[in-house]
């Protein structure tokens, strides 16, 4: 694919991959420097202390005495954690596609990895500083249990998110209609779903609030067009004309139309004309473009055959 032919989405994905690769390279450089404390402007005692810490997997004996060596070792641990997270995220992005179930699953795993990386980094850093992490985790567990009763909506969002993903109700790239908002699913997290409409507006919805939605991407859609003709129109002659001509509209418009347009007949008798119904099969992503194209083609067809499209009229009766 040439650079000029790349879509904005592919360019954004390429920028993210390049940024991730640069970040990984810089992190590796920092880790290499910190793993060789003799390269740093430290005293011999500090270098030996740092090496001892690294050899003990960054764990110390429980002393709360914090030195520059401890801070540097915490920095090293943070870089290692971030590197592992970024490498796994990069692999997930390479495995995942722009849309579909694969991208949905990989996005969920990436979101989980982000939270896991924070937890591991904090616990690891506290261990290096001599904090009894087991006691901290036990305390956090008790506090979390107490807060859990007040965070029922958060738990509901997470559980609903897992059901949405594993039941395949919708995937990244699907077009869904939620209430009056129609858009493309951009991401599915453990707590929220992000939807983008045709105007680029983003709607962030808690997973537990997604109910009674429509997934418009599972099947082809119909672009419906309603056109009025004058009451004076000979409908028998018009039916014959449309039967002969409507199928000819497919070939020049097959970039949007998936099949020949269909004429369904009279929809209703309006105030100023007889309303006719037309439809054409198209992809959901093209449904509005296909509707505009079909409307244009019908207008040209009617103009070529002198079929009158009426405008609103008012009939006034004057009493004698």
Assign domain 160-215 one CATH number from 2.30.30.60, 1.10.357.10, 1.10.10.350, 3.30.420.480: 2.30.30.60
For residues 69 and 87, give the distance between their C-alpha atoms in angstroms, rounded to a whole number. 27
Within 10 Å of residue 14's Cβ, how many Cβ atoms? 11
User: Cα 151 vs. chain centroid, distance in angstroms?
Assistant: 26
* pLDDT, tens digit, 9 for 90 and up, residues 190-207: 778 888 888 888 888 888
Assign domain 221-304 one CATH number from 3.40.50.720, 3.40.50.740, 3.30.160.100, 3.30.70.100: 3.30.70.100
Q: Length of the chain in residues, anyone?
A: 320
- What pLDDT, on a 0 to 100 scale, did the predictor assign at position 55? 60
Mean pLDDT of the chain: 76
The continuous run of DSSP H or E covering 114 comes out as helix 101-128
Long-range contacts of 190-198 (CB under 8 A, 24+ apart): 190/108, 190/111, 190/112, 190/115, 190/157, 190/158, 190/161, 190/162, 191/154, 191/157, 191/158, 191/161, 192/157, 193/161, 193/164, 198/288
Window from 215-224, 231-240, 269-278 with minimum mean pLDDT: 215-224
The continuous run of DSSP H or E covering 195 comes out as strand 192-196
Cα-Cα-Cα-Cα torsion 34, 36, 37, 41, nearest 10 degrees, comes to -90
| Most confident residue range from 93-97, 140-144, 277-281 | 277-281
- What pLDDT, on a 0 to 100 scale, did the predictor assign at position 294? 94
| Share above pLDDT 70 across residues of the chain, in percent, rounded to a whole number | 73
- What pLDDT, on a 0 to 100 scale, did the predictor assign at position 10? 59
Position with higher pLDDT, 141 vs 225:
225
* pLDDT, tens digit, 9 for 90 and up, residues 47-103: 777 777 666 544 434 444 556 777 777 788 778 888 888 888 777 767 655 555 566
Within 10 Å of residue 274's Cβ, how many Cβ atoms? 19
Residues 6 or more apart whose Cβ sits within 8 Å of residue 237: none
- pTM for the model stands at 0.49
Tokens of 138: 């036990």
Residue 184 phi/psi, 5° resolution?
A: -95, 135
Residues 6 or more apart whose Cβ sits within 8 Å of residue 224: 277, 278, 279, 291
Question: Helix (H, G, I), strand (E, B), or coil: what is residue 188?
Answer: strand
């Amino acid at each position: 694919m040439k650079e000029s032919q790349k879509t904005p989405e592919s360019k954004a994905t390429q920028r993210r991959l390049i940024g991730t690769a640069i970040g990984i390279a810089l992190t590796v450089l920092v880790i290499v420097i910190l793993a060789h404390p003799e390269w740093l402007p430290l005293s011999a005692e500090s270098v030996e202390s740092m090496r001892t810490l690294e050899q003990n997997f960054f764990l110390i004996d429980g002393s709360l005495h914090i030195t520059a060596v401890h801070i540097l070792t915490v920095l090293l641990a943070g870089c290692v954690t971030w590197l592992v997270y970024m490498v796994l995220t990069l692999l997930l992005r390479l495995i995942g596609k722009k849309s579909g179930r694969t991208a949905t699953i990989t996005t969920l795993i990436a979101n989980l990895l982000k939270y896991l990386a924070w937890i591991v980094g904090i616990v690891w850093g506290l261990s290096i500083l001599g904090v009894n992490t087991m006691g901290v985790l036990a305390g956090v567990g008790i506090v979390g249990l107490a807060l859990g009763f007040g965070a029922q909506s958060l738990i509901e969002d997470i559980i609903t998110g897992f059901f949405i993903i594993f039941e395949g109700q919708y995937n990244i790239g699907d077009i869904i209609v939620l209430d009056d908002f129609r858009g493309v699913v951009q991401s599915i997290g453990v707590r929220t779903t992000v939807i983008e409409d045709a105007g680029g507006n983003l709607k962030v919805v808690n997973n537990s609030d997604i109910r009674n939605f429509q997934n418009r991407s599972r099947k082809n859609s119909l672009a419906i067009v309603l056109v009025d003709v004058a009451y004076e129109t000979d409908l028998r002659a018009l039916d014959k004309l449309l039967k002969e001509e409507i199928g000819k509209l497919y070939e020049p418009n097959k970039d949007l139309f998936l099949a020949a347009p269909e004429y369904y007949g009279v929809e209703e008798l309006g105030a100023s004309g007889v309303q006719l119904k037309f439809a054409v099969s198209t992809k959901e992503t093209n449904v509005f473009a296909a509707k505009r194209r079909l409307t244009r083609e019908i207008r040209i067809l009617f103009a070529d055959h002198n079929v009158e499209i009426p405008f609103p009229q008012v009939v006034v009766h004057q009493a004698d």
